[in-house]
Amino acid sequence: MNSSFEIINDLKMSTTVTDPVDRLLDAAQNGKSIIKNRDVLHFTHIPETILHRDPEQEQLTQSLIPILMNSRPSNLLVYGKPGTGKTLVIKKVLSKIQKRVEEGSFPIKLAYTNAKQETTLYGLLVSFGRQLGLSGQKTNDEKMWLPSTGLSISEVFNRILYVISKHEINAVFVIDEIDYLAELIQKTGKDVLYQITRANERLETGSLTLIGVSNDLTFKERLDPRVISSLSEEEIVFTNYNLDQIKQILNARIHVAFSEGLVEDAALNLCSAMASRESGDARRAIDLLRVAAEIAERTQQVKVTEEHVRQASQKIEENKEIVALKSYPLHEKLLILAVMKSSEISTGETYMTYRSLCKEIRQKELTQRRGTQMLSEIEMSGIITGRIVHQGTHGNTKKFKITIPSDIIKNTFKDESVLQDIL
């Protein structure tokens, strides 16, 4: 018979062994983690070699070579669906150019921002201004001071041009997800893109070049024709990856992220197949692999299997709807709410409801034409669905309805103060 002391001691040991926090921490400390290099499993990681994108790398480099000769390169538009390597290639090329610049004495400055992450035109321009050296604190030269708020958009841009001219900088602005900037311009009526693409007409010294990156091949339709001609002096289109290419991209990452033999071939094949079915999105494949490996680790499995990939796919799908809803600009959220408020609603009825919602929250509505375009874009994401209804002599109309539970929409939008009163 065990003594009381022995029983208590056994209980302590049992608790230590089964504690979920200690179990995971012990496994990590003892090197039992399946993943040995997690950074590689994030799409933001820039590999030494970017597979299947040599022509695009060469084209981008050729476009930017003039800045090494102290000349202004052409404005450039880069197109391609998500996960086709656009941002990876751009960051790699810019990084290598920047290294050459730092080794020499070229007055060149490369500045990067993501329009989706900037909620205002002011914030986007401040981001560029800071990268060019404009101070957030008052300086002796007032034009070298760029406060976070308080100036007009035109004055912010004037100060950006001032620093470019003063230091004779050849500036290259990279705007990732530039289609979101087009949305901001439509909302505010302040065409920053026009100002940027015409900047060289105002600069006596220095220059400004724009690289725009877009997931949306149709976004130019929303721009001022005067902007289009100067913005798209050169264009590069990134095509979707095929199944074999995705498999090779994943394999390259597996060799760095895992020890040999820890990812089953069946898991690799399933990741590749799932991603290739979804428009050749390598980012999707990498995400699937990462989440599958995390699931395997958490369940203390020794390998990543096909089943882990299936579980990862289900988990990502559950989160995708919420992520998609959060990512929409305000006016697209309002259109989703307009559709949500009726079981089936025509394009015209949706727009009228949308106008009413705009009025309630004191927002200036977009045009009906733009609202109709947005509905089509939302439909492509699968959040809403539309069907053509024949109305006899009255012609045809399109009826929309949401495809996900309204509770998900309400719960996702409830934290946005501007929407709380209309949910």
pLDDT of residue 151: 93
Q: How far apart are CA 185 and CA 327, in angstroms?
A: 17
- DSSP 8-class letter at 41: G
pLDDT of residue 16: 46
pLDDT of residue 227: 80
Q: Where are the domains of the chain?
A: 1-32, 54-238, 242-325, 328-422
pLDDT of residue 68: 80
pLDDT of residue 9: 52
pLDDT of residue 392: 66
- DSSP 8-class letter at 367: P
pLDDT of residue 11: 45
pLDDT of residue 7: 46
pLDDT of residue 19: 77
Q: What angle do CA 214, 84, 382 make, to 5 degrees?
A: 70
pLDDT of residue 32: 64
Three-state SS string across 309-357, please? Answer: HHHHHHHHHHHHHHHHHHHCCHHHHHHHHHHHCCCCEEHHHHHHHHHHH
Q: How far apart are CA 155 and CA 206, in angstroms?
A: 19
- Contact in structure between 336 and 379 (CB atoms under 8 Å): no
pLDDT of residue 344: 84
Tens of pLDDT, residues 90-146: 989 988 888 887 776 667 888 999 888 887 889 999 999 999 999 988 888 989 999
- Contact in structure between 132 and 163 (CB atoms under 8 Å): yes
- Residue 204, SS3? coil
pLDDT of residue 224: 77
pLDDT of residue 182: 80
Query: CATH assignment of 328-422?
Result: 1.10.10.10
Tens of pLDDT, residues 57-100: 999 999 988 888 877 888 999 999 889 999 899 989 988 888 88
Closest CA to 206 of 161, 156, 154: 161
Domains 242-325 and 328-422 share a fold: no
pLDDT of residue 56: 96
- Residue 45, SS3? coil
pLDDT of residue 389: 79
Q: How far apart are CA 226 and CA 416, in angstroms?
A: 36
The low-confidence residues of the chain, meaning pLDDT below 70, are: 1-18, 24, 27-28, 31-32, 104-106, 391-395
pLDDT of residue 14: 46
Query: CATH assignment of 242-325?
Result: 1.10.8.60
The architecture in CATH of the region 54-238 reads 3-Layer(aba) Sandwich (3.40)
